[in-house]
Amino acid sequence: MLYYLKLTRESEYRIERVLYRQGKIVGGVYVGRGQEAIGVGSAIQLAEGDVALPSHRDFSSFVIRGVPLGQIFANWMGRGTGPTRGRENTLHIGNLKLGLIPIVSPLGDTLPVACGVALTFQQRRRKNVAVVHFGEGTTSRGDVHEAMNLAAVMKLAVVFICNNNAYAYSTPTERQYTVRDLSVRGPAYGMPGVTIDGNNVLAVYGAVQKAIALGRAGGGPSFIECKTFRMTGHSAHDAAEYVPKELLEQEARKDPILRLEKVMLERQLLTREGLVEMERRIHKEIDEAVAYADAQPLPEGATAVKGVYCGPDCWWKS
């Protein structure tokens, strides 16, 4: 888990602080600095046949489910050989073989889709689960209500994970909802709801493990609120001056990666040398992935009109 946490942090650093500034990434840049534990602690325990519907701040889910790092960078850079052939940006990367369904920018739309995925599991008597991530801002959308209610009524194996990072763009939680913990909404729909420390990867792992077990056993959906903090702007162009400095400093001390490192070093599950070696390996992997992506061509402009419809002569198969 430490490896994926660090790989995610470093990859997103490259994207937000290096490649974006070099002009190699056009368009918006949204990263999950500070909240990596949620994606890692959940995606790492998915089994074959399970489906993840990560948010735009869950970089690790894509790596863990098996999208090659170079392909992820190629997508960010709009390359024609990337997973979306330049049609989509950031982490809007789907791959059904890997059990990955990406967000659309009207966030919250993936929650009903997760219900449909779990409905198919139910119809086919499979013990798989759908795990969907979304922010606390998204919980204000009607689709979240509709999906949570539908999942509860139909007893669908969906794990609803709210990455509560305290700000929806510039809007703090008190302008988004009035309850202290969003997990009260779980029981309101008739499903378990818990609020956990989202910066503790072991706590995330434990809560998601329980929810997955319930789903596999036919016990229906669960709601997990992971409290974390967005240690960057909404996107790369946002300086986030609306976040008080003291708050940011206070939250920085809860960094999920440093916390796991500390625990592992204390319990002698990791040595200093091991850590350095891991970091070296991560840097090398990212260097190679960026080099691969940067060598990929941009798409031909005229391909913009291809593959609008699926049919026997499907462009995507070419």
Nearer to other proteins (CB atom), residue 119 or residue 265: 119
Q: Which of 28, 44, 81, 92 binds other proteins (CB under 8 A)?
A: 92
Q: Could you give the string, one character per residue 139-168, with x where binding to other proteins holds by CB under 8 A and - elsewhere? A: ---xx--xx-xx--xx--------------
Catalytic residue among 230, 253, 280, 309: 230
What letters, b where the CB count within 10 A reaches 16 and e where it falls short, cover 98-128? Answer: ebbbbbeeebbbbbbbbbebbbebbeeeeeb
Segment lying near other proteins (by CB under 8 A), choices 6-14, 118-126, 198-206, 261-269: 118-126
Nearer to other proteins (CB atom), residue 7 or residue 113: 113
Which residues, 6 or more positions from 114, have their beta carbon under 8 angstroms from its beta carbon?
51, 53, 101, 130, 131, 132, 147, 151, 158, 160
Q: Which of 130, 157, 204, 243 binds other proteins (CB under 8 A)?
A: 130
- Helix, strand, coil percentages, rounded to 5, for the chain: 45, 10, 45
CB 289 within 8 A of CB 73: yes
Smallest distance, other proteins to C-beta of residue 9, A: 26
Our finding on whether 109 is near other proteins (CB under 8 A) is yes
Structure tokens belonging to residue 23: 């002009």
Residue 145 is among the residues annotated as catalytic for this protein = no
How is 218-266 classified by DSSP, letter by letter?
Answer: T---EEEEEE----S-SSTT---TTS-HHHHHHHHTT-HHHHHHHHHHH
Residue 237 is among the residues annotated as catalytic for this protein = no
Q: Could you give the string, one character per residue 35-74, with x where binding to other proteins holds by CB under 8 A and - elsewhere? A: ----------------x-----------------------
Nearer to other proteins (CB atom), residue 111 or residue 243: 111
Residues that bind other proteins (CB under 8 A): 51, 83-84, 87-88, 92-96, 101-102, 104-106, 109-123, 130, 142-143, 146-147, 149-150, 153-154, 307-311, 314, 316
